[in-house]
Amino acid sequence: MNASGDDTWPPSPELLAAYFDGEFEGRDDLVDVRRRLEDWLAADPGARAELAEYRRLRHLWQETTPREPAVTAWQNLLRRLESCPVRAGSLSRGAGSHAPWKMAAVLAGAAGFLLAAVLLKDSGTARDDMEPFPVASEREVVILYVEGADTGTLVVGQLPLQGPMELVDAGDVTLTSVEPAQRDNMVPDVHIAGPGRPIIWARAEGEDD
């Protein structure tokens, strides 16, 4: 059924969800779309049922809003933040309740930041004022594990990884086999031309889906 005579009727279900989320509120440029959606809702029980399902899901979500931690938990957390000297540019060894683990996590974050800085630099999008945070040198960081399956990245290289991390150019990496290598039954055989280029991260297609 085409309630408006428009060939594109009905609107896409994503638009209905956006309408439900209030994305059309106060948007003068979307008045026509909003009117079409409201016409659709008035005419189509299926669309109304869809909206009702959204409401149920929202209600369910709100019903399960986590309880706020006790006041003392907030106070302890704030105290740890206040005692953390990171604002002075150095890392705290005692910032958290699991200090050694925290330190490792912060270092891992710093390593990620270093990597991101290298990637941005090489992709030509880095700003002049973005420099790697000087937490550790490349020789002090060993990457033991890379979560590749859900990061939208293609990881090529052999772990553990230590040393400079650079983007490689097309042709620098040859994937010899996608089968697990015999030596560790894990990492596929990869040939990387030239020294000092042990890893490549490239955004994989379909990352958004």
Partner 1 sequence: MAVGTGLLLLGDEQLLPHAARGCKDALEELFRRYRVVAYRVAFRFLNNEADALDAVQEAFIKALMHLPSFEGRSSFKTWLLRVVANAALDLGRQRGRRETLSMDALGRQNREELEPFILQEPGQDLERADLRHKLHEVLSRLPLAQRQTFVLHAEAELSYREVAEVLGISIGTVMSRLYYARQKLRALMEIWMKQQ
Interface contacts to partner 1, rule CB under 8 A: 13-15, 17-18, 21, 23, 53-54, 56-58, 60-61, 63-69, 73-74, 77-78, 80-82, 84, 86-88, 92, 95-98, 102, 105-106, 108-109, 129-130, 133, 147, 150-152, 207-209
- In the bound state with partner 1, the residue whose beta carbon lies nearer, of 114 and 168, is 114
Nearest to 181 by CA among 198, 161, 158: 158
> Could you tell me where the beta strands, DSSP code E, fall in 70-160?
142-143, 153-156
- In the bound state with partner 1, the residue whose beta carbon lies nearer, of 9 and 133, is 133
> What minimum distance in Å lies between the beta carbon of 77 and partner 1?
6
- 106: amino acid identity, one letter: V
Q: How many residues does the chain have?
A: 209
- In the bound state with partner 1, the residue whose beta carbon lies nearer, of 116 and 181, is 116
> What minimum distance in Å lies between the beta carbon of 44 and partner 1?
17
Q: Which structure tokens are listed for 43?
A: 């005419």
Nearest to 191 by CA among 167, 171, 164: 171
- In the bound state with partner 1, the residue whose beta carbon lies nearer, of 9 and 54, is 54
> What minimum distance in Å lies between the beta carbon of 1 and partner 1?
22
Binning the chain into helix, strand and coil, the percentages to the nearest 5 are 40, 10, 45
